Amino acid sequence: MDFVNKIFRGDKAIWMIFMFLCLISIVEVYSASSTLTYRRNYWDPIMRHTMFLLSGTAFVLLCHSIKPRFFVIFALLLPVAWLLLIATKMAGNNINDADRWLSIGGFSFQPSEFAKLFLIACVAFILSKQNKDQQSKDKRFKWILLFAVPTCAMILLDNFSTAALLFIIVFLMMFVGQIPLKKLGILLAVMVVLSGLFIGFLVVVPASTMNKILPRAVTWKERVKDFNHKSGDITDPEVAFNNDNYQVSHSKIAIARGGILGKMPGNSQERDFLPQAYSDFIYAIIIEEMGIAGGACVLLLYVILFVRAGIIANRCEKFFPKYLVLGSALIIVTQALVNMAVAANLLPVTGQPLPLISRGGTSMWVNCVFIGIILSVSRFENPKGVQQEQTIAIEMEEEKLQQQEQQQIMDV
């Protein structure tokens, strides 16, 4: 027990949530990967996913051992993320009609995931430079936009949902960081106007012309169009299972079949029909196998994670770790809520995975880094946590002295 306490330090509730999410991930990804095992070795998909989880846990352990002030390095790496995003657009791997992946030395990854981490650290750092004068607040607002707008714009070209989600998180961080409400109101109004113009662009411009200007815009338009017409006759097979709403229809069936307690892990039927059952729509498979009760428990885990992160942030005396924890928790929990809403057909299909549960590589690692950051702050910036660390250090030193004394007695 002492060994476990020495290794897994920081907020115990966060550790428990992380472990539960990892356990659910292994079980559900293993169950939902039937379409992958059909084409490959039976154990390949789950072994790959387990390796990513284990390496992600190593990232958590590493990050939770680093003092929060050193995470400023992530903010300094934001220009590197810009270069990677540009390189992805020029020479990235096209998967599902989107250039989101970049291969270097045979290793493929999503630069947008690293951009999320670096931008949140950058915004937290800027917000931490607080002064009471109005001029300082205006400067912070301008600097945040200077870094956030280019980052989100580059991600937007091939991943609208990630760019929108990231900008929303930045906006919420500015709100918590006491950026003047007038500034935020103006920014919100500008975004509403730009969104209206963009929607008008999607409606007016023909698909053939749009493909030359912004190819992904055609996909966005069709997804919103399908979502707005979701009230069609679901009993008509041609309406329910056409190419446009195939995923959403099978997601609804999975949720309906789950009932209260579900069909138990491994007994899902819709996993064989949902193309992204192990990723974008894994929450539907969770409800089918674990029922609404299981789905509610997963939702509750994310809610508790956010609440605990808020408590940790409230205890911080320094501003940088405070905002870094809030940003880390917001990005994980908001993305989880979006994924669940898509599975329940409350939002258009976005392609956002369920953090720490969906099958993935880069996203799994980055989310584990976010968890490690939260644990690091709970360990080093929480007065109770600091006292606990000192107590553990004293106990270790006393144990070492006792061992030395015993050794001397044995030598005599």
Q: What is d(CA 82, CA 88) in angstroms, rounded to the nearest whole number?
A: 10
β-pair partners for 104 = 107
Q: pTM for the whole thing? A: 0.86
Contact 242, 229 (CB under 8 A): no
Q: Is it the case that residue 138 has pLDDT exceeding 60?
A: yes
Residue 231 has pLDDT above 50, yes or no: no
Nearest-CA neighbor of 121 among 163, 170, 48, 181?
A: 170
50 has a pLDDT exceeding 60: yes
Residue 232 has pLDDT above 50, yes or no: no
Percent helix / strand / coil, the chain, rounded to 5: 75, 5, 25
Dist CA 254 CA 24 (whole Å): 17
pLDDT in tens, 339-397: 999 888 888 888 788 999 988 888 999 999 999 999 999 988 776 555 555 565 566 66
Q: For residue 196, give the amino acid letter.
A: G
pLDDT single digits (tens) 268-286: 888 777 777 778 888 989 9
Q: Is the pLDDT of residue 406 over 50?
A: yes
Arithmetic mean of pLDDT, 21-49:
79
Specify the DSSP class assigned to residue 23.
H
Range from 152-166, 215-229, 270-284 carrying the lowest mean pLDDT? 215-229
Q: Say what percent of the chain tops pLDDT 70.
A: 77
> How much of the chain, in percent, has pLDDT values that exceed 90?
40
DSSP β-ladder status, 98-104 and 107-109: antiparallel
Q: Where are the domains of the chain?
A: 2-381
User: Exposed e or buried b for every residue in 92-105, given b needs 16+ CB within 10 A?
Assistant: beeeeebbbbbeee
Mean pLDDT taken over the chain: 82
Span 313-324, pLDDT tens digits: 998 888 999 999
Is the pLDDT at 117 greater than 90? The verdict is yes
Sheet holding 93-95, edge to edge: 93-95, 98-104, 107-109
Question: Which two three-digit tokens encode residue 285?
Answer: 């498979």
- Note the pLDDT of residue 394: 64
- Cβ(53)–Cβ(28) below 8 Å: no
